[in-house]
């Protein structure tokens, strides 16, 4: 194993330079004008896997390609690890808020600034380098490896479940390993015990045949903007709970042991608020901030569109209003069930004189990890050896919908080991990844593979 770690140490400069090439490719999956770039990122990644010593294939889908890398050198009796990540990134806008351009990776204060540095190209590439270190040094890696990199995670992975179903044998594995989340704090490695699910909708409120003069008609005609505001206000009660009947029916109250572990983490509300330039926090009463983020569900407006928002005053009664509404879900909530509950709630609260329509965007089920067993122990040891600190358990507030699907369809457990940090601006301007985490993370992953036999 010391050869592997020495190899990593001696090649860290190149590992960073290569990542910067990856980060320069604007693989923005949501934008069709970047389809060629997204494909280029897939091909670039596939080449690097091949150079690391894996056999690779880039498979077309109705959307962006899926890259598969395979190494079967441990033999038919050895376990197989499926490493999953995504090479697509979120759109970088608003561009003017970036200190350095999103697709020109720049080092400042020990950080790599670029779109995708943390989510997820940087973390995905750490696996490639950890594998390279094993294969280049002839370390007798004790596990077979399948790498699966998709280019549609940031748009809801529409083609991945069908792909998994059609390739069950090829993807057969004992463990799914994913680095697409974060550590609790700087220098404090972490292992995930959960991810929240997601149910995302558009609520459209339609009024009269066209916009109307707000003096000629206002007061006698229902305003879709007013109606939408009424609907949105009905989604929460004064305790910060979601007020949709039945919404909490499937919510599992977490065990006391996990709640005690959460309470023991070094978290201070005032510091958390200050880092966000807020003077107060808000959420469901009866739960602490970390519980609200990890083990409690939410309902959030992500965007509202209605009427005249240009310069000056236009007296108009708009005929359409739209809200984007997402729910973060926790075990055992289910996005389909939440959709039914939302429909029933809207039917009950929607005022007359407008029609309300729900459109479903994407969704995914929540995930709860098994926090014991040999893989979890191996990860714990590997992280401690690489970072010099025992990892802490933490939850994931975000969503990776494919995790549950992998577990169910492949009959394997998932292990989530992430290396971004709080505040590293995922999906926002000035996304960054600490260089230290990139480098120690590669060693941690290499150590982990070595322990999985």
Query: Quick one: what does residue 401 bind among ligand BES, Mn ion, none, with the CB cut-off 5 to 8 Å set by partner type?
Result: ligand BES
Structure tokens at 343: 């429909």
Figure out which of the listed residues 144, 399, 425, 443 binds ligand BES, where binding follows CB under 6 A. 399
Stretch that binds ligand BES, among 18-26, 129-137, 283-291, 391-399 (CB under 6 A): 391-399
Figure out which of the listed residues 85, 122, 151, 156 binds ligand BES, where binding follows CB under 6 A. 156
Shortest approach of ligand BES to residue 329 CB, angstroms?
11
Residues contacting residue 28 through CB under 8 Å, at least 6 positions apart: 34, 37, 38, 88, 89, 90, 91, 92
Using the rule CB under 5 A, is 88 a contact of Mn ion?
Answer: no
Using the rule CB under 6 A, is 154 a contact of ligand BES?
Answer: yes
Shortest approach of ligand BES to residue 360 CB, angstroms?
13
Structure tokens at 77: 């009796």
Query: Quick one: what does residue 417 bind among ligand BES, Mn ion, none, with the CB cut-off 5 to 8 Å set by partner type?
Result: none
Stretch that binds ligand BES, among 152-160, 166-174, 265-273, 370-378 (CB under 6 A): 152-160
Between CA 421 and CA 235 the distance in angstroms is 31
Between CA 221 and CA 217 the distance in angstroms is 6
Contact mark string toward ligand BES, 184..223, x via CB under 6 A: -----------x--x-------------------------
Burial of residue 440 (number of CB atoms within 10 Å: 0-12, 13-18, 19+) = buried
Closest CA to 422 of 137, 145, 183: 183
Query: Quick one: what does residue 88 bind among Mn ion, ligand BES, none, with the CB cut-off 5 to 8 Å set by partner type?
Result: none
Using the rule CB under 6 A, is 396 a contact of ligand BES?
Answer: yes
Figure out which of the listed residues 401, 434, 441, 450 binds ligand BES, where binding follows CB under 6 A. 401
Between CA 166 and CA 369 the distance in angstroms is 25
What residues between 166 and 185 interact with Mn ion by CB under 5 A? Answer: 180
Closest CA to 4 of 450, 451, 452, 453: 450
CB of 125 closer than 8 Å to CB of 14: no
Using the rule CB under 5 A, is 150 a contact of Mn ion?
Answer: no
Residues contacting residue 203 through CB under 8 Å, at least 6 positions apart: 228, 231, 322, 323, 325, 346, 356, 357, 358
Q: Strand, coil or helix: what is 109?
A: coil
The DSSP H or E segment spanning 301 is strand 298-306
Stretch that binds ligand BES, among 39-47, 149-157, 283-291, 338-346 (CB under 6 A): 149-157
Using the rule CB under 6 A, is 88 a contact of ligand BES?
Answer: no
Contact mark string toward Mn ion, 107..126, x via CB under 5 A: ------------xx------
Query: Quick one: what does residue 41 bind among Mn ion, ligand BES, none, with the CB cut-off 5 to 8 Å set by partner type?
Result: none
Shortest approach of Mn ion to residue 217 CB, angstroms?
44
Using the rule CB under 6 A, is 400 a contact of ligand BES?
Answer: yes
Mark 357-377 as b/e (b = at least 16 C-beta within 10 Å). Answer: eeeeebbbbbbbbebeeebbe
Strand pairing category for 355-364 and 197-206:
antiparallel
Query: Quick one: what does residue 399 bind among Mn ion, ligand BES, none, with the CB cut-off 5 to 8 Å set by partner type?
Result: ligand BES
Terminal Cα-to-Cα distance of the chain (whole angstroms): 13
List residues binding ligand BES (CB under 6 A): 119-120, 153-154, 156, 180-182, 195, 198, 362, 364, 396-401, 426
List residues binding Mn ion (CB under 5 A): 119-120, 180
């Amino acid at each position: 194993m010391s050869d592997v770690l020495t190899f990593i140490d001696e090649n860290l400069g190149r590992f960073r330079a290569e990542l910067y090439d990856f980060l320069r490719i604007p693989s923005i999956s949501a934008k069709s004008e970047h389809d060629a770039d997204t494909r280029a990122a897939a091909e670039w990644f596939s080449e690097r896997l091949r150079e690391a010593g894996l056999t690779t294939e880039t498979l077309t889908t109705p959307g962006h390609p899926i890259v598969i890398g395979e190494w079967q050198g441990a033999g038919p009796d050895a376990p197989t690890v499926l490493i999953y990540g995504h090479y697509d990134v979120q759109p970088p806008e608003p561009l003017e808020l970036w200190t350095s351009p999103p697709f020109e990776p720049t080092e400042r204060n020990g950080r790599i600034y670029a779109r995708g540095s943390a989510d997820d190209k940087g973390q995905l590439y750490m696996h490639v380098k950890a594998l390279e270190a094993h294969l280049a040094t002839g370390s007798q890696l004790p596990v077979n490896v399948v790498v699966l990199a998709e280019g549609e995670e940031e748009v809801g992975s529409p083609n991945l479940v069908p792909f998994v179903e059609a390739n069950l044998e090829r993807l057969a594995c004992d463990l799914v390993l994913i680095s697409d989340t974060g550590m609790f704090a700087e220098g404090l490695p972490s292992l995930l015990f959960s991810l929240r699910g997601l149910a995302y909708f558009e609520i459209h409120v339609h009024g009269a045949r066209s916009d109307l003069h707000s003096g000629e008609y206002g007061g006698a005609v229902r305003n879709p903007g007013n109606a939408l505001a009424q609907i949105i206000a009905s989604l929460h009660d004064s305790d910060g709970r979601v007020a949709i009947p039945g919404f909490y029916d499937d919510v599992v109250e977490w065990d006391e042991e996990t709640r005690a572990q959460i309470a023991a983490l070094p978290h201070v509300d005032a510091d958390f608020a200050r880092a966000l330039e807020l003077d107060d926090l808000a959420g469901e009463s009866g739960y602490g901030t970390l519980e609200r983020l990890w083990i409690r569900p939410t309902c959030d407006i992500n965007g509202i569109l209605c009427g005249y928002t240009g310069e000056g005053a236009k007296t108009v009664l708009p005929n359409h209003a739209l809200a984007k509404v997402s729910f973060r879900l926790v075990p055992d909530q289910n996005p389909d069930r939440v959709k039914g509950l939302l429909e029933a709630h809207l039917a009950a609260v929607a005022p007359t004189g407008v029609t309300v329509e729900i459109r479903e965007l994407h969704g995914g089920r929540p995930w709860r990890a098994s926090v014991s067993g040999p893989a979890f122990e191996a990860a714990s040891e590997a992280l401690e050896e690489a970072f010099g600190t025992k990892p802490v358990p933490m939850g994931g507030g975000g969503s990776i919908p494919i995790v549950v699907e992998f577990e169910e369809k492949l009959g394997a457990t998932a292990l989530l080991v992430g290396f971004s940090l709080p505040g590293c601006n995922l999906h926002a301007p000035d996304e960054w990844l600490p260089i230290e985490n990139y480098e120690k993370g590669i060693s941690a992953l290499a150590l982990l593979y070595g322990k999985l036999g």
